[in-house]
């Protein structure tokens, strides 16, 4: 593997992210409004419950989880489905397919650059501010090392799911509805919108084995060390499950792309 060319793509991705600074600030402003709404919503929920602890989580635990989940979403999000849909409709995808590099690798390493910049622009500042406001409630020990490992696998899983959905563009050419459904499913079943601790027991038993949980809930539980996430309890199982989904979704995505590429129809160009 020629690491130099992949690093060059990553650098280009970082530069592209910096080029659209206004878009980043608009996104941050929108997330700020979202977090304000989340605060008042969950404050009302806890007030109506008549208890300081609901499903094993205090209001502070819930808010910290959801704020970091939002920051993690901004950090890990890729727009491969939207980009591929536009490229197929315009015909510009042909230029990427002619490059001496697989389309998947080209896209992955390009988005890595954007993810790195999003980490420094959104997740890291949010993490520092939350830790200060909560007076150091987030432990800073071995969990950080496992968190980094978990986030890397979450990034691969998230990209693989997007890659599978984006490949469907080769058949439909328009994926607005598909992408909306995908976003809703991922945000709901990953715990990014509602902590999985609030799910019904029967549903939670199913969701904990799905790949969506591995994107947000697992890294956050590793970081916050909630739900018994220690080396001997829960942590090892979650990391192994993440690795299994990384390998499975990567294999499925590559196989689906190889088969679907033969059926590509390009418009425009």
Please report which confidence band the pLDDT of residue 18 belongs to, taking 50, 70 and 90 as the band edges: low
pLDDT value of position 31: 74
- Going from the C-alpha of 158 to that of each of 38, 141, 183, 212, 217, the distances in angstroms are 24, 26, 11, 8, 13
pLDDT value of position 127: 87
| Tens-place pLDDT, residues 203-220 | 988 998 999 999 999 999
Angle between helices 235-260 and 103-118 (to 10 degrees): 140
Query: Do 45 and 194 form a contact (C-beta atoms < 8 A)?
Result: no
| Tens-place pLDDT, residues 82-113 | 888 788 777 777 777 887 788 888 888 888 88
pLDDT value of position 227: 54
pLDDT value of position 161: 94
Average pLDDT, the chain: 84
Residue 79 has pLDDT above 90, yes or no: no
pTM for this model (two decimals):
0.88
pLDDT value of position 180: 86
Query: Do 213 and 69 form a contact (C-beta atoms < 8 A)?
Result: no
Average pLDDT for residues 251-267, to the nearest whole number?
Answer: 81
pLDDT value of position 232: 59
Average pLDDT for residues 248-268, to the nearest whole number?
Answer: 82
pLDDT value of position 226: 64
Alpha-carbon distance of 238 to 247, in angstroms, equals: 14
Alpha-carbon distance of 138 to 131, in angstroms, equals: 6
Please report which confidence band the pLDDT of residue 173 belongs to, taking 50, 70 and 90 as the band edges: low
pLDDT value of position 269: 46
Query: Do 190 and 68 form a contact (C-beta atoms < 8 A)?
Result: no
């Amino acid at each position: 593997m020629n690491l130099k060319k992949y690093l060059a793509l990553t650098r280009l991705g970082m530069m592209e992210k910096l080029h659209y600074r206004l878009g980043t600030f608009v996104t941050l402003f929108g997330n700020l409004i979202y977090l304000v709404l989340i605060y008042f919503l969950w404050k009302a929920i806890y007030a109506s419950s008549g208890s300081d602890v609901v499903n094993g989580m205090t209001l502070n635990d819930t808010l910290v989880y959801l704020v970091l989940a939002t920051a993690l979403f901004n950090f890990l999000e890729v727009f491969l489905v939207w980009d591929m849909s536009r490229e197929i409709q315009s015909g510009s995808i042909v230029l990427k397919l002619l490059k001496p590099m697989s389309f998947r690798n080209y896209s992955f390493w390009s988005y890595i650059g954007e993810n790195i910049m999003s980490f420094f622009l959104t997740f890291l500042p949010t993490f520092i501010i939350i830790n200060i406001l909560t007076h150091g409630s987030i432990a800073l020990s071995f969990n950080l090392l496992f968190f980094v490992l978990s986030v890397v696998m979450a990034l691969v899983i998230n990209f693989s799911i997007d890659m599978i959905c984006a490949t469907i563009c080769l058949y439909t050419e328009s994926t607005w509805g598909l992408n909306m459904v995908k976003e809703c499913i991922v945000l709901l079943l990953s715990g990014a919108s509602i902590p999985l601790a609030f799910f019904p027991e029967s549903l939670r038993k199913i969701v904990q084995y799905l790949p969506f949980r591995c994107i947000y809930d697992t890294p956050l539980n590793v970081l916050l060390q909630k739900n018994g996430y220690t080396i001997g309890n829960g942590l090892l199982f979650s990391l192994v499950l993440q690795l299994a989904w990384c390998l499975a979704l990567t294999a499925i995505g590559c196989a689906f792309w190889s088969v679907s590429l033969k059926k590509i129809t390009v418009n425009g160009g």
